[in-house]
Amino acid sequence: MNGFRNERLRKRAEQALNSGGFEGAEVSATTLKEVLHELYVHQAELEIQNEELRTAQQALEASRIQYLQLFQSVPLACFTINAAGIICEANVAAERQFGLPLRRLKGRPLTLMVESLDHGRLFTALARLRDSGQWVRQEYAFVGAHSAIDGLTDARVVELEPGPDGVDKGDVLLTITDVTERNAWVSELQDARDEAERTRAAYHHILQAVADGICGLDARGAVTFVNAAAQSMTGFGASELVGRSFAALIGGDAEEEGRRALTLSLADGLVRQVAHGLLRRQGGEDFVAELTVSPILQNGSITGAVVAFRDVTARRAAEQALAESERRHRTLVQSLSEGLVMRSVDGTVMVANAMAERLMSGPAGVLLDPLAHPLESRKPGDRTGRAARRRFIGADGARLTGLPPTAKAVDSGKPVVEQIVGIAEGDEAAAPTRWLRVSSHPVPGADGRPEAVVSSVTDISAIKSMERDLNVALDAKERFMAAASHDLRQPAQALTLLSGLLLKEPIPEDARRIATQLRDTVASLGGLLDCLLDISKLEAGLVTPHSTPVEVGTIMERLHGEFRAVAASSGLTLRTVPVRLGVCTDGGLLERVLRNLLTNAIRYTRQGRILFGARRRGGALRFEVWDTGIGIPENQIDRIFQDFYQIGNAARDRREGLGMGLSIARRLVHMLGGTIEVTSTPGKGSCFAVTLPSGTILDERHCGDSPDDSAAGSGEADGDASVLLVEDDAVIRMALALMLEGWGYRVTEAGSVAEALELVDGALVPDLVLTDYRLPDGDTGLMLMDTLRRRFGPDLPGVLLTGDTSSDRLREAAGAQCALLHKPIQPDDLRRTVRASLEHRDVETEAT
């Protein structure tokens, strides 16, 4: 009987909804509740079938209370307004949506809730609603407590009896959907009588919109509802799934985890989750899914279940790939020869490879401990025992104090990068030492403070041993080269001076040719020694560029005049294309580089021509030397810049040069901040290019004149300055004295420091001291200069002559502010240096 009555009520509700008979009509509470009750029946679908019929009867008896509860539970903002436009009632959703409490909403004019531009449009629509019962759903701009709200607004005329207090409840119900954020989920809100149907529709839309597949099941496990995501994942349509057992969609065997979870949940009512279940697609293919089975309980009975699932095939594959990657990385970390460890700030080891574990268990453990105390600073012999005698030293051999690397990184929050630490087992200098290179990087937490630290340790004991051996070998090499150079320069100097003096004498032509060949041979030997000296200067860091404005065209024209005859004598044509530009650089070093390139081009070109030019390249200046020579094989281009390397000169024919020009040129170019490049085709020729850095080009009018050294080679007398010559080699001393006297100087000779001091004691006041560096009885020229400067003042100029190419001599001469010439010395170089030293003294004297 009840079933028949409920069926009759449902049909009446459908007829009323379809015909629109409720619009504008007065509806009794009984009829309203029957309609609402039937709408809830539709929303709950199979879950509330018989129970809803019984609750409908109860709802009829409490229609007003249920109406108010329904009004407050509606998830959309609802207002009732009276004819004066005053809000009479508002629900909780309106309070939440507009950010105002109910006490401020009730009695508030609707004009304060709507933007002024929409006042006329909204109140016109409300008037039309009251007059004709017609309303068109549209959006209005509302004003919330915190921001503007775009509200999709519905309105219906309602008949509400005044409350017990006689307050007007209004005659229009407004429902406002906030489409600012949830425009896709909101449906038209008509009135409170069909709220249940709208809620059911909203839930239906939500289920269809979610990305997870959702299936509703009855108590037997048959599908009653599927959303769009479930259809998309399985490939089955809704008509194919509804009525079908969900268990048939579960892949795998009968014991598959998903099938067991479904069976148990329908039996005991417990929610179960399956992390990696198998579901079957149309066509029989299985995919990995994450399932949640949630039974539906009604009055203690299981009436069905909801199964939510998502396709995690890609995620599962990613997890497996991540696990495999982690395994590979762990294997890689374990295979490292370096120690690698990650520890929390409380000292807990989070990750460590085998090498790090061995180090942490030994003396090096303190270096990797984030809680380590500062290293002790003690004197040798303070304590006894092996551990007590252990020292931690730095790369310079000094004892380390303060926090070790890992503790320091945690304490400061900054990385400690490649700190060299030696662990010496004893106080002795030769104590066995294990050398480690330690880097520690703090890992910040959410608050920015370190929560862990990653440290790497490399045992560099073998490298340090090789460094020691290398330093010993380099010191031995430098001492050998210095000694050999000194011993060679002495006779070479004598030969140079004597051959120069011989060529000034009227001798037969045959003898002159022999003397000329002798001079050239000695000059070749001097070139070799000069190359060794250049390398020593560069390695000692004593060659410092002095940038001044330099006119490029002048340098290029001078080089052209110098090499044109040389090229012509070899049957070559030298063409120079100078540029009228200035650069700010060291003109002397630049000219030397270009001279080396031109010398190389002429040496390796048998026929054809050589092109020397310069051009702008952006903001930089590029010099190029092209030749039509033998070319350079590609596999030898890098080697030509090595010391003493020459192409096609395996017999080391000194007439072909020494193989040092390009090596020195590259060093000088780097000092000038530029680059040197080479392109070549074997058999066709090469191009060497030197590019000076951008920003060095100047306007030509800002360039000064290039130094003019022509006076050094003139035959004019330099003056009558008094020169004290100190040289223990009698032949060299004689040759130097004759040469200096030929230039007009008054020369006083001495063979040792003692003789020189005797001359000074005898009232000699020299204007310049020209002395050999190594003198008899262990004395040196610098010692003599110190003695004489204490007597005659610090401005006394000095010129040191030496055959020693070691970097120590270069530093000592620079520190003593003495000019330094290396044997064998060319007469022009000596004359130029003596003159410059005397002129420098005169300038300082005038300034004083």
Residue 69, Ramachandran bin (φ over 0: left; ψ between -120 and 50: alpha; else beta): alpha
Residue ranges with strand state E in 672-816: 675-681, 685-692, 697-698, 722-726, 746-750, 768-772, 798-802
183 pLDDT band, cuts 50/70/90, is: low
Q: Does domain 336-459 have CATH number 3.30.450.20?
A: yes
Q: Per residue in 457-495, pLDDT tens? A: 888 878 878 877 777 776 776 666 666 666 666 676 667
Instruction: Please give the average per-residue pLDDT across 603-623, as a whole number.
Output: 83
Question: Considering only 79-88, 636-645, 665-674, 753-762, which range has the smallest mean pLDDT?
Answer: 636-645
Closest to 624 measured CA to CA, from 633, 615, 632: 615
How much is the average pLDDT of 400-415? 87
The reported pLDDT for the residue numbered 729 is 81
Query: What is the model's pLDDT at position 714?
Result: 46
Q: What is the CATH number of domain 2-204?
A: 3.30.450.20
Q: What is the pLDDT, as a whole number, of residue 395? A: 77
Question: How far are the Cα atoms of 122, 734, 745, 786, 795 from residue 756, in angstroms, in the given order?
Answer: 118, 16, 18, 13, 18
The whole-chain average pLDDT of the chain stands at 77
Between the alpha carbon of residue 487 and those of residues 490, 527, 805, the distances in Å are: 6, 15, 11
The whole-number average pLDDT for the span 39-46 is 59
- The reply to whether CATH 3.30.450.20 applies to domain 210-316 is yes
pLDDT of residue 167: 62
**pLDDT single digits (tens) 417-447:** 888 888 887 767 667 888 888 898 999 988 8
Q: What is the four-CA torsion angle of 721, 725, 730, 735, rounded to 10 degrees?
A: -40
- The 3-state DSSP class for residue 842 equals helix
The alpha carbon of residue 656 and the mean position of all alpha carbons in its chain are separated, in whole angstroms, by 48
641 pLDDT exceeds 80? no
**Domain-by-domain residue ranges, the chain?**
2-204, 210-316, 336-459, 460-538+717-848, 548-695
Per-residue model confidence (pLDDT) at position 750: 92
Confidence band (pLDDT; 50, 70, 90) for 28?
Answer: low
Distances (CA, A) of 198 to 21, 40, 92, 299: 18, 10, 18, 26
Q: Residue 724: pLDDT above 90?
A: yes
Q: What is the pLDDT of residue 513?
A: 76
Given a cut of 50, is residue 644 above it in pLDDT? no
Q: How many alpha carbons lie under 13 Å from residue 719 in its C-beta half-sphere?
A: 13
528 or 662, greater pLDDT: 662
| Range of lowest pLDDT (376-380, 516-520, 772-776) | 376-380
Mean pLDDT for 192-218 is: 79
Helix (H) or strand (E) holding 735: helix 730-742
Laid out side by side, the sheet with 746-750 consists of: 746-750, 722-726, 768-772, 798-802, 819-822
For the segment 599-610, the average pLDDT, to the nearest whole number, is 86
What's the rounded mean pLDDT across residues 645-656?
42
Domains 210-316 and 460-538+717-848 share a fold: no
Burial of 438 (0-12, 13-18, 19+ CB in 10 A): buried
The whole-number pLDDT of residue 799 equals: 92
Confidence tier at 684 by pLDDT (50, 70, 90): confident
State yes or no: pLDDT of 730 exceeds 60: yes
**Residue 626 neighbours by CB distance under 10 Å:** 19
pLDDT band at 709 (very low <50, low <70, confident <90, very high): very low
pLDDT at 202: 78
What is the assigned CATH class of domain 548-695? alpha beta
Q: List, for residues 232-277, the tens digit of each pLDDT value.
A: 888 898 888 898 888 888 877 645 778 888 888 888 889 988 888 8
Provide CATH code, domain 460-538+717-848.
Answer: 3.40.50.2300
CA–CA separation, 516 and 502 (whole Å): 9
Contact 456, 438 (CB under 8 A): yes
Task: Indicate the DSSP class of residue 203.
Answer: H
Q: What is the pTM of this model?
A: 0.38
For residue 658, the model assigns a pLDDT of 39
Q: pLDDT grade, residue 555 (50/70/90)?
A: confident
pLDDT tens digits along 276-335: 888 888 887 888 888 899 998 888 889 899 999 988 888 888 888 888 888 887 777 777
The residue ranking higher by pLDDT, 524 or 430, is: 430
Token pair 């010993």: residue? 472
